A and B are shown apart, each in its own frame.
Chain A
Amino acid sequence: MDVVPFHGSYFPRRNDKVIGKVIEVGPSMWTVDIRSPYLTMLHMNDTPWKTFSGEIKKFLNTGDYVYAKVMNVNEVKESWITLKEPGQGLRKLEGGHIMYVPAPKVPRIIGKTGSMVNMIKDATSTRIIIGQNGLIWIDGAPEDVLIADEAIKMIEREAHTTGLTDRMVEFLKKAKGEINGNTQ
């Protein structure tokens, strides 16, 4: 038996797509923080770039964010991520705004087949990437990013309630209206 908690940390699973922050650069590997109890590793051979040992810093430096896929997790929970899977949008994340929600709330933010996040994307005309680990990247005009941020925080707060989609429609309508009202 297993219980889905309201809170709790993220545990990497194979093939999950996650957002992580580079916290250390080694000669041939980056150490990436994915807000899990365990740090994860990105090897230079698992990137689309032509890298040479000792000079991988110019591609990714500490503080950069990546959207990557979990390649492997072993018995002692060490994990490796990869950027080398064409067509899945894996890359270094440039610009944008990063926010965090607890990993158990991620399915609610995505919604059924992405309905919830697509609604926010359409209403705020932002680009949003959600990592399974709860890190979220939002890019767009600053005021739109703020609305998307607020909308996601609302889902986080009310993830366990029913009728959330309807309230979200209301919220987005109101928030958009306020922006238009101010700019006119």
Chain B
Amino acid sequence: MGTPSNIKLIDENGLRLDGRGDEELRPIKITTDVLERADGSAFIEWGGNKILVAVYGPREAYPKHTQDIEKAVIKARYNMAAFSVDERKRPGPDRRSMEISKVISEALSAAVMLEQFPRTQIDVFIEVIQADAGTRIASLTAASVALANAGIPMKDLVVGCTAGKVEGRIVLDLSKEEDNFGNADLPMAVLSKTDEIVLIQMDGELTKDELNKGMEMILKATKRINEIQRKALSEKYTIAQNKEEGE
């Protein structure tokens, strides 16, 4: 964050490096049911991010001391492939991925009706195959789709987006360069219907007004992303139906 550089992140026409405007998202594509053995799965392509999510459970929680007699526990594991970033990432959990696993578990716990299956765990395996800024909210967005795909009862879908400050301007959905050389990064996730915030983090510095503006932009963007989530979930069934009717 704030690494000094002479890269111009916003050109004279007000366009960003990849030609987007301030409130423009990178292209997002979500597919469900990509894995045979998982109870639910999703694959998200968000700009250059490629992330695979597999959901298993609810199943009896092991080790036994992690069981909660009153509700299920969500165990998310965020893992980056060694080849997902420019320089080889040392495989295995590290400080950063453990933090992300924790915040994702907590964000998902706000949406899932955990009290329906006491003593169980729901495993959410997140594999980042290619990383390009904003992987935690892309993972979270895909994870909630995978949970819904697994038929796990939820109050709402979790949907996330980032905003940030680049060359003094508040922009939506930071790209890799903007993330590395910008002034601030603000990932946030909400429950799609209630706008209840389930994850918010900030790296860098924003004034109160800038923070409010960023949050407002994110809230607007989550509506669009939520449409994509819903489409991904219903797509499989509508296509099957149309094909059969056509026969």
Q: What residues of chain A have their CB less than 8 Å away from a CB belonging to chain B?
A: 3, 5-9, 11, 37-39, 76-77, 102, 104, 157-158, 160-161, 163, 167
- In the complex, the answer to whether A158 meets B240 with C-beta atoms within 8 Å is yes
- In the complex, the answer to whether A7 meets B151 with C-beta atoms within 8 Å is yes
Dominant SS among interface residues on chain B? mixed
Partner of A8, one of B118, B119, B152, B244: B152
A163 vs chain B, min Cβ distance (A):
8
- In the complex, the answer to whether A37 meets B241 with C-beta atoms within 8 Å is no
Q: What residues of chain B have their CB less than 8 Å away from a CB belonging to chain A?
A: 39-40, 57-60, 69, 117-120, 149-153, 237, 240-241, 244
Given A37-B120, A76-B119, A160-B237, A104 and B151 contact (CB-CB distance below 8 Å): yes
Q: A8's closest neighbor in chain B, by CB?
A: B151
Q: Cα distance A76–B61 when bound, in Å?
A: 13
Can you add 18 more A-B contacts, CB < 8 Å, to A9-B58, A157-B240?
A3-B153, A5-B151, A7-B39, A7-B149, A7-B150, A8-B150, A8-B151, A8-B152, A9-B57, A37-B120, A38-B60, A39-B60, A77-B117, A160-B237, A161-B240, A161-B241, A161-B244, A163-B244
Q: Cα distance A76–B120 when bound, in Å?
A: 11
Q: B57's closest neighbor in chain A, by CB?
A: A37
Residues of A within 8 A of B57 (CB): 9, 37
Q: Cα distance A7–B69 when bound, in Å?
A: 25
Residues of A within 8 A of B240 (CB): 157-158, 160-161
B14 vs chain A, min Cβ distance (A):
45
Q: Cα distance A99–B153 when bound, in Å?
A: 25
Dominant SS among interface residues on chain A? loop
Q: B237's closest neighbor in chain A, by CB?
A: A160
Residues of A within 8 A of B59 (CB): 37
What are 26 pairs between A and B in contact, CB < 8 Å? Answer: A3-B153, A5-B151, A6-B151, A7-B39, A7-B149, A7-B150, A7-B151, A8-B150, A8-B152, A8-B153, A9-B39, A9-B57, A9-B58, A37-B57, A37-B119, A37-B120, A38-B60, A38-B120, A39-B60, A76-B118, A76-B119, A77-B118, A160-B240, A160-B241, A161-B241, A163-B244
- In the complex, the answer to whether B241 meets A7 with C-beta atoms within 8 Å is no
Partner of B237, one of A6, A8, A102: A6
Q: B243's closest neighbor in chain A, by CB?
A: A161
Q: Cα distance A163–B240 when bound, in Å?
A: 13
Partner of B153, one of A5, A39, A163: A5
